[in-house]
């Protein structure tokens, strides 16, 4: 099959923790006074000052909500919906976790690779799918699995969705579970009215806007089960410019707010999500926990023009901090810079969940 590729060359899926302060904060809402705040003029995203400056300089491109779990919050346009990119995959994860808890899915079920790869649009995920195959020890040619008769454990597929940000697994889970299960899982944590996305159906219109017409889930199913349609679409692909891709992302991809994602992460971290919360945390907190904590869970994402970060931090004292920082409207040069330096932003976010000083720095620019 002809490979389809976008400008998005990497996924902001790894969380690199540069520090995690255990400083306690008094229980109060952050309200930084202008005379206590120094002007932030940096535009260098290789520095924390540059990320702070990006909020101050382009406030209409940011939706942010940080809650340290001890009564202090910083927020900026928290109810404004922006493109979520792969951060929305936690909804599919929560639906999977509910199904496992209810006995409707067996995490040890062996899934034929054909059933996984039929939901894969080659080359549109920054190499996430082949990277996941390689980590799982599945033979591949750098694009797809070489033996579609081989199998993968269902729970391992879910790790690919979270760790490498594989785009095929969410549509596979939607197909297996049905839309109501995904919506119900979102509603369980307070996100009512969640519109279930399709990564296949949202991605294909970037290359042919006509494919956005009608029901995009039906289009995704045609891609998955209609080989002539799949071959026809692949053969006619024209790679759009960055600006065209970014405009398509804003038009076609799933949107949500920092408030909505925060509700999910808090329900996972404090257990109010109910049965299945342990499975969610096992997947989100796959990296070692920082000192003094029980776990740090994360799912971020990126698409042309968009970078998203969402986290929860569970402490030994039972408190739970959450943070969501959504950015859109990034021009090509700024997007490339962000993709090369997002670990700096992540370090700032983690510090803000634990340190009153770091939280105050963000409060000064919102």
Residues in a beta bridge with 76: 64
Exposure b/e, 3-34, CB count within 10 A at least 16 = b: ebebbbebbbbebebeebbeeebeeeebebee
Q: Which pLDDT score is estimated for 29?
A: 44
Structure tokens at 100: 């496992």
What's the confidence (pLDDT) of residue 189?
85
Task: Enumerate the H helices of 197-324 as residue ranges.
Answer: 199-203, 216-225, 227-235, 242-252, 258-270, 277-284
pLDDT at residue number 8: 38
Residues 93 and 298: beta-carbon distance below 8 Å: no
Cα(76)–Cα(74) distance, rounded to whole angstroms?
7
**CA end-to-end span of the chain:** 47
Q: What element of type H or E holds 152?
A: strand 151-153
For 307, the 3-state DSSP assignment is strand
Question: Rounded distance, CA 366 to CA 355, Å?
Answer: 17
Using the structure block, give the residue that is written with the tokens 């969640």: 194
User: How high is the pLDDT of residue 222?
Assistant: 98
Q: Give mean pLDDT in consecutive 10-residue pieces for the chain, a chain of 366 residues.
A: 37 46 40 66 93 94 97 97 98 98 98 98 93 98 97 99 98 98 94 95 94 95 98 91 96 96 97 96 96 96 98 96 98 97 96 95 94
Q: CB of 33 within 8 A of CB of 343?
A: no
**Secondary structure letter of residue 69 according to DSSP:** S
Query: What per-residue confidence (pLDDT) applies to 41?
Result: 87
pLDDT of residue 10: 42
The per-residue pLDDT for 58 is 94
Measured between alpha carbons, how far is 304 from 21 in angstroms, rounded to an integer? 33
């Amino acid at each position: 099959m002809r490979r389809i590729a976008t400008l998005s060359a990497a996924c902001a899926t790894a969380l690199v923790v540069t520090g995690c302060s255990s400083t306690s904060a008094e229980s109060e809402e952050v309200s930084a006074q202008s005379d206590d705040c120094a002007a932030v003029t940096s535009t260098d995203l290789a520095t924390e000052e540059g990320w702070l400056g990006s909020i101050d300089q382009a406030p209409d491109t940011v939706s942010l909500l940080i809650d340290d779990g001890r009564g202090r919050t910083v927020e900026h346009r928290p109810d404004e919906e922006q493109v979520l990119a792969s951060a929305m995959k936690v909804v599919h994860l929560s639906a999977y976790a509910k199904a496992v808890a209810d006995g409707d899915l067996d995490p040890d079920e062996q899934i034929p690779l054909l059933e996984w790869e039929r939901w894969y649009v080659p080359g549109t995920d920054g190499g996430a799918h082949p990277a996941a195959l390689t980590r799982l020890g599945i033979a591949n040619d750098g694009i797809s699995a070489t033996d579609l008769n081989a199998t993968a454990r269902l729970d391992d597929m879910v790790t690919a969705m979270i760790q490498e940000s594989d785009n095929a697994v969410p549509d596979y889970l939607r197909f297996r579970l049905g839309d109501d299960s995904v919506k119900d899982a979102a509603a369980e944590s307070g996100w009512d009215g969640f519109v279930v996305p399709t990564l296949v159906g949202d991605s294909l219109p970037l290359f042919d806007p006509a494919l956005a017409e009608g029901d995009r889930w039906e289009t995704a199913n045609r891609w998955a089960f209609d080989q002539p349609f799949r071959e026809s679409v692949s053969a006619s692909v024209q790679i759009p410019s960055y600006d065209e891709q970014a405009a398509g992302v804003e038009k076609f991809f799933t949107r949500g707010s920092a408030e909505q994602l925060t509700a999910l992460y808090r329900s996972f971290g404090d257990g109010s999500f109910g049965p299945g919360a342990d499975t969610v945390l096992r997947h989100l907190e796959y990296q070692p926990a920082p000192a003094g904590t029980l776990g740090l869970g994360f799912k971020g994402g990126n698409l042309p023009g968009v970078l998203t970060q969402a986290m929860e931090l569970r402490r030994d004292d039972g408190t739970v901090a959450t943070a969501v920082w959504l950015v859109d409207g990034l021009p090509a040069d700024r997007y490339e810079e962000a993709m090369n330096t997002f670990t700096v932003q992540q370090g700032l976010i983690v510090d803000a969940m634990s340190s009153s000083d770091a939280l105050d720095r963000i409060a000064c620019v919102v």
